[in-house]
Structure 1
Amino acid sequence: MTSHLIRDARLIPLAEGDRTPDRPVDVLVVDGTVTAVGPALERPDGASVLDAGGRWLMPGLWDQHVHLAQWTLASQRLDLAGARSPEDATAMVAERVAAYPEVPVIGWGHRSGGWERDVTVSELDAVSGDTAVVLISGDGHHAWLNTTALMHLAMPVRDSVVREAEWFAAYPRLATLVGNDGTSPEAYRRTLEHAASMGIVGIVDFEFSGGAEEWAERWAAGADLLRIRMATYADTLEHVIAAGLRTGDTLPGCDARATMGPLKIISDGSLNTRTAWCCDPYADAHRLEYPSGQPNLSGDELRDLLGRAHGSGLEVATHAIGDAAVAEALAAYAETGARGSIEHAQMVNRDDVRAMARLGIRGSIQPAHLLDDRDLTEKIWPGRAERCFAFRWMLDDGVTLALGSDAPVSPLDPWLAIAAAVHRSADDREPWHAEQALTPREALAASVDGQPTVAVGSRGDLVLLDADPLAGFEPGAETAKVGEALRTMTVALTMVAGELVHTTL
């Protein structure tokens, strides 16, 4: 039995009206559960003592939407986030090929939605020769490949990008091009250690490849630091059902910290790729094959998947970015009785938000996306920005919120997400539709997997902060300083299931 006595910690109230002590207290964690909270607790035999020094204690943070292998690989990829045109991107590729002519180039992060023209395979071929090049867009929904890479990944040669379902199906084959070194258990462990240093205790993993067997291998090899919920996709759904796995079940070969998560359905595309399914056409619809985007599944296919998962004890996480996709997903939830979440819910109608609340469907949101999508939204969804990232609508209408990053689309950084939810700006401009902002307390409450303020019976998943995350916020006040304080928050201690996974004490 493991026990820790945290002395002199200030508790952070996560709900309005929470009664927390007005002075530091001691918190005893025994065998993964908080068993006592109060002043000057007696130290049990064998318990370690951790001096919080008046720091601030709260439940540990979760990232509810991560593509963990892709995030782990991201640090090894060519960073194209700064590319402002196709010419910028090809210049970066040419430089990388010149430096490492025998090494395939995997790039990440360009946002071609803001570029003035479409790209071609032939212009990428011109700067890469026989070196395989795969440039993955910042939203993850399309990739710009040269001919060598298209042929290696067994895709038809074309002069345009690979989008949506075709790209998702091809992504796992990247390992045949670059190998698996970047997703070894050791690499996963490093990623999880970095997450723990930011106060993360749990991750919902929406990776496309792998499955329970791969998680069992990683777990045994030391990638067992945090809580993990593993999602499945349609192509592996029957395998999961045949294995008897239901949402919440412990993954075979792991312990109770690694569990089965939801079925993930990607019902539409993205803003950057202009494939999010909308009720109205995009502003540049003349450039598009589908002027309003389109669904990735028919209504019958969507309902069949929801019904199959629900009947087998699995929750469903439905990616829906456009307002038409959100409405259709909610109709499918209502008809099938399935439970779970809308992932992203980037543009919504108010009535659909009310339907989310009525159906008990969570809003799994990624606030940092608004920092990247602000300008593009105004350009290609003009007149609709007030319905984008509508966090205040959701909370006020009774939708349960769950914050995440969608890493590597945004960094795996809970404080960036929390700050974006509160301040809604990444630069010197005024907050973007500040009427949809959350308070720091609300954003924190949406980041802890439903856990209440630390009390007897709480999970021993805790984070100790070097500063008060609620300091300086007043309703109606300017939020830039609060946002900066949240973005730069530092963590003194992270505990998972009663075990220390990070400490600077």
Structure 2
Amino acid sequence: MPTTTTTATTTAPPVTLERVRLGAGGPLSDVRIENGLVTAVYPAAEAPRAPGERLRLDGRTLLPGLWDSHVHMVQWAGVRRRLDLSGARSAREAADAAGKRAAGRPAGELLVGYGFRDGLWPDTPGKGLLDAVTGDRPTLLISADLHCAWLNSAALAAAGHGDHPTGLLREGASMRAVADLTAVSAEVTDRWVREAGAAAAARGVTGIIDFEYADNITDWTRRARTAPPALRVAAGIWLPHLDPAIRRGLRTGQVLDTPGGLLQVGPFKLLSDGSLNTRTALCHDAYPGLAPDAPGAYGLQEVSPPDLVRLLRHASSHGIVPAVHAIGDRACETVLDAFEAVRCHGRVEHGQLLAAKDIPRFAELGVTVGVQPSHAVDDRDVADRHWPGRTHRAYPFADLLRAGAVLELGSDAPVAPLDPWLTIAAAVARTDGAREPWHPEQRIPVADALTGSARGRRLIRAGDPADLVVTDVDPLGADPGTLRRMPVHATMTAGTWTHRTPA
């Protein structure tokens, strides 16, 4: 996806930032901002007097604004209102937690939980287990990777799956059920999204790529016309909305006609396989415990290779950049083969499990890798169990960089929190601090993690869009714990402050 950003129309007053460190490890400087642009950079204390605010920053660090390059924004906005099941160590524990939350709730009110990881559970989720503790209260539990949902009988009936034998929906059926059952009014959804956007701005985020499973261009156009967002949004396009976008002449990177000019057309999102936790990531080797001829032994292929080539060619020929979800090593190989056949630029989302021979191909083919470093921390035990003996090439960020690949970092929120500092720290440390680093040879330097979180921006120069973040600590001198907690002093998008710490 193009990394250039069109400047938004802005009425923000000009400002001069005084005595700010220009980039991680950079010199003390003064920076002038007008009309949504960085218009001049001076040595500290040498900026001429000019109209507007003069903000003394006392040696804080000024960085390019941060992006989260993979978000499901509506899911993330709603997740803070849901039952957290990330700590459940078994299906029984998750069901009991749902039963306690369901007690006393109105019979027809949907209970939603999220964050379970059944790939390590000793028992199997099933609708009977949920029915026993939730009764006739519709209950929907969503896996951490968003590729699986566990429903009780009442929720299955509401989702049109009343005769489902297990209550465990996977992949497309799961995503449709979650979208249908959790739908609230546009007014409520948009309010939640605004709150989530403000929270992201407080962590230094100036833009996101939104891959919500929805008509994102329509939804974000409505939101932007009601209240301009606190950050730039590249609205992803799913297959049902691809041809309508093509008929409108939309192209990836095109800025849409909304107040503030912060909304742009995103890439075309396509799923090629599933996830590792759900055991649907498409791999070259059969999953442990499954016979090679067993159904699903190697994972799930969501789209055939010929159809993949056809869809990539169709989208790219109309100026819409493909972004293909691929997690398993076989899926990644198949997707790279398709990019090679079409000869178009694009993105692979996740690229978690790679064959060594495929690592150089990203750079050779001009395919960006959208990676989520927090997954390497959260899913290390799942990978050790379900991809044993090969985890040295799981989440191989350092190898990809050495091979010349372009990495763009994201969270996959709500799979991980929409907080770029947690993402950066995971890329740098390969641990959340509670355990020893997992495959530390795949750690990457702070400078590269910052670049991957800023869509390739390393410097702040005159003429750049004024998408900026001010931190109290220079990231280059921060330990991983400080990176995770990074104190963000202020955030600016298109020359407008979207977050400022009170004096």
TM class, shorter-chain normalised? Answer: over 0.9
Q: Once the 2 structures are TM-superposed, how far is the Cα of residue 44 of structure 1 from its aligned partner?
A: 5.1
Mapped partners of 1:180, 1:436: distance in 2 = 44
**For residue 180 of structure 1, what is the amino acid of its counterpart?**
S
Show the counterpart of 1:483: 480
Q: Once the 2 structures are TM-superposed, how far is the Cα of residue 223 of structure 1 from its aligned partner?
A: 4.7
- Which residue of 261, 264, 280 maps to 2:266? 261
Task: Check if 1:49 corresponds to 2:60.
Answer: no
Q: Report sequence identity in percent.
A: 39
CA contact (8 A) 1:13 1:453 kept: no
Q: Once the 2 structures are TM-superposed, how far is the Cα of residue 48 of structure 1 from its aligned partner?
A: 1.2
Show the counterpart of 1:10: 21
Query: Which piece of structure 1 moves more, 116-125 or 458-467?
Result: 116-125
Cα deviation code 1:464-504 (max 9, x no counterpart): 000010015xxxxxxxxx21111010100101011111111
**For residue 181 of structure 2, what is the amino acid of its counterpart?**
L
Task: Check if 1:204 corresponds to 2:209.
Answer: yes
Q: Once the 2 structures are TM-superposed, how far is the Cα of residue 286 of structure 1 from its aligned partner?
A: 5.0
Q: Once the 2 structures are TM-superposed, how far is the Cα of residue 426 of structure 1 from its aligned partner?
A: 1.9
CA contact (8 A) 1:11 1:57 kept: yes
- Which residue of 126, 131, 138 maps to 2:144? 138
CA contact (8 A) 1:78 1:106 kept: yes
Show the counterpart of 1:162: 169
Show the counterpart of 2:196: 191
CA contact (8 A) 2:472 2:489 kept: yes
Cα deviation code 1:342-374 (max 9, x no counterpart): 110001112211111100101110000011111
CA contact (8 A) 1:310 1:337 kept: no
Task: Check if 1:357 corresponds to 2:354.
Answer: no
Q: Once the 2 structures are TM-superposed, how far is the Cα of residue 156 of structure 1 from its aligned partner?
A: 4.7
> Which ranges in structure 1 are unaligned for 5 or more consecutive residues?
15-19, 473-481
Show the counterpart of 1:82: 87
Task: Check if 1:214 corresponds to 2:219.
Answer: yes
Cα deviation code 1:251-290 (max 9, x no counterpart): 3445431100100011100010000000111113259731
> Which ranges in structure 2 are unaligned for 5 or more consecutive residues?
1-10
Mapped partners of 1:167, 1:397: distance in 2 = 36
For 1:418-437, list aligned pairs within 5 A.
Answer: 418-437=424-443
Cα deviation code 1:388-438 (max 9, x no counterpart): 010011000000010000000001010111000111012443211111110
CA contact (8 A) 1:188 1:223 kept: no
CA contact (8 A) 1:343 1:365 kept: yes
Mapped partners of 2:162, 2:135: distance in 1 = 18
Show the counterpart of 1:478: none
Q: Once the 2 structures are TM-superposed, how far is the Cα of residue 210 of structure 1 from its aligned partner?
A: 2.9
Task: Check if 1:497 corresponds to 2:494.
Answer: yes
Structure 1 runs, 4 residues or longer, greater than 6 Å off: none
Mapped partners of 1:410, 1:501: distance in 2 = 23
CA contact (8 A) 1:72 1:183 kept: no
Task: Check if 1:33 corresponds to 2:37.
Answer: yes
Mapped partners of 2:471, 2:289: distance in 1 = 46
CA contact (8 A) 1:186 1:222 kept: no
For 1:323-334, list aligned pairs within 5 A.
Answer: 323-334=329-340
Q: Secondary structure of 2:128's match?
A: helix
Q: Secondary structure of 2:336's match?
A: helix
Q: Once the 2 structures are TM-superposed, how far is the Cα of residue 336 of structure 1 from its aligned partner?
A: 1.1
**For residue 431 of structure 1, what is the amino acid of its counterpart?**
P
**For residue 200 of structure 2, what is the amino acid of its counterpart?**
A
Task: Check if 1:441 corresponds to 2:438.
Answer: no
Mapped partners of 1:492, 1:261: distance in 2 = 29
For 1:242-257, list aligned pairs within 5 A.
Answer: 242-257=247-262
CA contact (8 A) 1:122 1:159 kept: no
Show the counterpart of 1:390: 396
Show the counterpart of 2:457: 451
**For residue 269 of structure 2, what is the amino acid of its counterpart?**
K
Cα deviation code 1:439-485 (max 9, x no counterpart): 1111111110122311212220010000010015xxxxxxxxx2111
TM-score, normalisation: structure 2: 0.94
Show the counterpart of 1:310: 316
Query: Which piece of structure 1 moves more, 379-388 or 447-456?
Result: 447-456
**For residue 491 of structure 2, what is the amino acid of its counterpart?**
T
Mapped partners of 1:292, 1:468: distance in 2 = 45
Mapped partners of 2:250, 2:413: distance in 1 = 26
**For residue 494 of structure 2, what is the amino acid of its counterpart?**
A
Q: Once the 2 structures are TM-superposed, how far is the Cα of residue 74 of structure 1 from its aligned partner?
A: 0.1
CA contact (8 A) 1:94 1:127 kept: yes
Query: Which piece of structure 1 moves more, 303-312 or 206-215?
Result: 206-215
Q: Once the 2 structures are TM-superposed, how far is the Cα of residue 172 of structure 1 from its aligned partner?
A: 2.3
CA contact (8 A) 1:185 1:222 kept: no
CA contact (8 A) 1:419 1:486 kept: yes
Query: Which piece of structure 1 moves more, 160-169 or 260-269?
Result: 160-169
Q: How many residues align?
A: 487
Task: Check if 1:284 corresponds to 2:289.
Answer: yes
TM-score, normalisation: structure 1: 0.93
